Structure 1
Amino acid sequence: MTLKAGYPFWLIKDGLPFTFPKLDHDVDTDVVIIGAGISGALVRYYLVKAGIKCTTIDARTIGLGSTSASTSLLQYEIDVPLYKLNEMIGKEKAQRAYQLCGEAIDKLAEITKDFKLDELKKRKSLYYAAYKKDVSWLKKEYEARKEAGFKVKWLNEEEVMEQFGFKSYGAILSDKAAETNAYMLTHCLLQQKGKNKSLEIYDRTPVTDIKHTKNGVVLTTESGHTLKAKKLVYATGYEVVDFIDKDIVKLLSTYAVVSEQYNERQFWKDEVLIWNTADPYLYIRTTSDNRVLVGGRDEDFSNPAKRDKLISKKTKQLTNDVNKLFPELDFKPEFSWTGTFGSTKDGLPYIGPYSKKPNSYFSLGFGGNGITFSLIGAEIICDLLQGKDNPDAELFSFDR
């Protein structure tokens, strides 16, 4: 599946910071991780830290799947509002899911200090009512988040205008959020070396066959080489539909646009992450090099060609969205792209074992919170591989 098209800003900005070889020999290891985007990179980071021998492979050049198309907003909110999730799965589980995402933001910030990546910035987040009819449920959401322990503030119409300069019917201002660069973060994570000082990472190595047995897993590559492992971690993101037969995800296409670089950094107050209650929702953030990124205008995914034809139209619409909100920005688009992502009925990812694939684990960070979900998945899988109980594993299981 072609996961993105257009000119993703991060790929233009950072190019190919590191290169990796194709697999040209057979491998015998403890764990194979298939997928080297942000999900696979975080799994590998945790396994290497735990001293677990692992090998990572990817069919593409590293980072050129969904990761390069990520808009890299880090939020504790998931695609299903907390007050609704309370009703769907119970308050205790719903609150825990949100809290785990909040903790993941702080953990990601700590991880980036290991390799001095300066592209993770702590921000606040503004979730505003796009329509007057949304105010009543948005206030419910505010109360649910406050009860769950989040530092939030309700802003009325006048306060949003006074503080942020645009018209809204009310908003939740959250203290916890961040913005990053998932593409560069992935490459940095993959540079961590294990005890043998070898990366054991191979790209441009498509897998053509996977055999699961009671004793382990054997993968065969396009070139005929094999990888034998005790366990396999699937971190293939939205291409997971090729590996499991359970209907767990709905595929969508999202669109993103990055502005030309501004001479001076004069954006909105505190450069908060901005998103709204529309369906699909609009989201806006800044970048480290004085640009504004806007995304949204999602469509149901049918095929890559249909998705890609809409880039020009969506670029104009998203440009108009920003200029309507902040006319003084005079937003001028420079890079536009589209990517495929997935959503689940409860907004939660799928993490852990899948009964039809013995000796394997899945880290599938579906939804708008894919990066924080990926960190949660890495922690859970690392525990399970070491035979440890993880109290949060059930929350994201395939059997939930």
Structure 2
Amino acid sequence: MDLLSGQPYWFYKNGVLHAYPFLTENIDEEVVIMGGGITGALLAWSLTEAGFPVVVLEKRHIGMGSTSGSTALLQYEIDTTLTELIDLIGEKQAVRSYKLCVDAIYKAQEITQSLAVDTHFSLRKSVYYASKKDDLEMLRNEFDTRRKHGINVDWWDAPTLREHFPHLKKSGAILSHDGAQVDAYRLAHALFQHCIKKGAKIYDTVEVIDIQHHQRNVTLILENGFKIRTKKLVIACGYESQNYLSKRVVDLNSTYALVSKPIPQSTLWYQNALLWESARPYLYLRTTDDKRVLIGGKDEKFQSAIKRDKLLRSKSRLLEQIVRKLFPELPFTVDYEWCGTFAETKDGLPYIGTVHEHPDTYFALGFGGNGILFSVIAADIITDLLRGRRNQDAPIFRFDR
């Protein structure tokens, strides 16, 4: 699948951080991870730390799938509000899924702090505003629900919102105190380099063309003719993972993003908070460590990469106009623009775990608007499952939910 087009900012900023070898032999390994993006990297880190020998296979260059185009807002809020999720799956599991995402923010912080490389992780507040007046009641109910269940939020009425964002003429917002941002491309490489030092083997430009399941192991057939035999396979191929499932679990969308040139002031708006709105599809904004504005959104249902790419220029101009309207005082000039494909599920939650049709295979499908945090959760769950431990949260994300 053609996942990205245009100029994904994180690759242009960082360049080729590391080179990884090409696999040219048959090998046996206890655990193989298919996917060399941020999800595969977090899984490799978790499993390596737990003492598992790990091999990672990526058909592109490391981090050059969706990870290089990730806008990397780390928000506990999923694409389905907590209020809606309670109606869909029940209060206990809905609240637990939200709190797992809150915990994942601080787990991600711990992971980044343990690495030798600065991945530009930083904690951020998040402002979730009503796109129109008709959304205000829904947003207020969502605030009450979060507050009731112990999530750290404040309510901003219109005057309070205008006090912090003078040009944001909206009727109200939820201020969340738990949020973060990171350079996902840089983080993926840092995690893999850490794993390599602990004995993991990372290969890229290696494509798996067939997966054969046997009674006690799985054999992967590579495009170059070599084979890998493993006791356990973990599929972390992002939105392409649907290719390995007979049952459709996702809908694909096209999304658009751009980044400005650096702006010569350290604080671009209130505490450089993450910004997003109640409309669906929604807009989202963040800043970067080098003082740029990143804005994304204006999603469309995915039809083809060609149709997605044709809209890039018009969508970018629209996003640029929105930024200029929201922050007219900022000297905003577009520097990079790109588009990509992402997937969403029926309830906004990821799919993590096993399916009957693929023995000894585990899926980490961190779909949706906060896939990085879902990947942190997936890494914990799958590590427990491979250890033979019961994970009490695994049922929330099972395929047959």
Shift of 1:245: 1.2
Q: Could you tell me the percent identity over the aligned residues?
A: 47
Q: 2:186 & 2:4 partners in 1: Cα distance?
A: 17
Matched with 1:187 is 189
Q: Which runs of 4+ in 1 moved over 4 A?
A: none
Contact 2:48 2:200 in 1 (8 A): no
TM-score normalised by L of structure 2: 0.98
- One-letter amino acid of the counterpart of residue 311, structure 1: L
Contact 2:353 2:362 in 1 (8 A): yes
- Which secondary structure state, in structure 2, belongs to the residue aligned with residue 220 of structure 1? strand
Q: 1:205 & 1:243 partners in 2: Cα distance?
A: 17
Contact 2:263 2:331 in 1 (8 A): no
Matched with 2:148 is 147
Q: Map of 1:93-108 to 2, 5 A cutoff?
A: 93-108=93-108
Matched with 1:77 is 77
Q: How many residues align?
A: 399
Worse overlay, 143-152 or 228-237? 143-152
Matched with 1:390 is 391
- One-letter amino acid of the counterpart of residue 219, structure 1: L
Contact 2:281 2:298 in 1 (8 A): yes
Matched with 1:178 is 180
Shift of 1:324: 1.1
Q: 1:113 & 1:348 partners in 2: Cα distance?
A: 27
Q: 1:231 & 1:117 partners in 2: Cα distance?
A: 32
Shift of 1:214: 2.0
- Cα deviation digits, residues 244-272 of structure 1 (max 9, x gap): 11121000011000001112224111111
Q: What are the ranges of 5 or more consecutive residues in structure 1 without an aligned counterpart? A: none
Shift of 1:193: 3.4
Contact 1:214 1:359 in 2 (8 A): no
Cα-Cα RMSD: 1.0
Contact 1:76 1:99 in 2 (8 A): yes
Q: Map of 1:363-378 to 2, 5 A cutoff?
A: 363-378=364-379
- Which secondary structure state, in structure 1, belongs to the residue aligned with residue 105 of structure 2? helix
- Which secondary structure state, in structure 1, belongs to the residue aligned with residue 248 of structure 2? coil
Shift of 1:192: 1.7
Worse overlay, 259-268 or 84-93? 259-268
- Which secondary structure state, in structure 2, belongs to the residue aligned with residue 299 of structure 1? strand
Shift of 1:88: 0.7
- Which secondary structure state, in structure 2, belongs to the residue aligned with residue 168 of structure 1? coil
Matched with 1:15 is 15
- Cα deviation digits, residues 271-330 of structure 1 (max 9, x gap): 110000111101000000010000000011111111111110011000011111111113
- Which secondary structure state, in structure 1, belongs to the residue aligned with residue 230 of structure 2? strand
Q: 2:196 & 2:7 partners in 1: Cα distance?
A: 34
- Which secondary structure state, in structure 2, belongs to the residue aligned with residue 267 of structure 1? coil
- One-letter amino acid of the counterpart of residue 319, structure 1: E
Matched with 2:247 is 246
Q: 2:72 & 2:355 partners in 1: Cα distance?
A: 28
Shift of 1:97: 0.3
Shift of 1:51: 0.4
- Cα deviation digits, residues 14-58 of structure 1 (max 9, x gap): 011111011111110101100010111111100000001111001
Matched with 2:318 is 317
Shift of 1:118: 4.7
- One-letter amino acid of the counterpart of residue 367, structure 2: F
Shift of 1:216: 1.1
TM-score normalised by L of structure 1: 0.98
Shift of 1:194: 6.2
Contact 1:29 1:230 in 2 (8 A): yes
Shift of 1:339: 1.0
Q: 2:175 & 2:379 partners in 1: Cα distance?
A: 29
Matched with 1:258 is 259
Q: 1:274 & 1:99 partners in 2: Cα distance?
A: 20
The answer on 1:218 being equivalent to 2:219 is yes
Matched with 1:342 is 343
- One-letter amino acid of the counterpart of residue 257, structure 2: A
Q: 1:333 & 1:382 partners in 2: Cα distance?
A: 42
- Which secondary structure state, in structure 2, belongs to the residue aligned with residue 191 of structure 1? helix
- One-letter amino acid of the counterpart of residue 248, structure 2: D
Q: 1:107 & 1:262 partners in 2: Cα distance?
A: 31
Q: 1:122 & 1:274 partners in 2: Cα distance?
A: 14
- Which secondary structure state, in structure 1, belongs to the residue aligned with residue 195 of structure 2? coil
The answer on 1:355 being equivalent to 2:367 is no
Contact 1:256 1:336 in 2 (8 A): yes
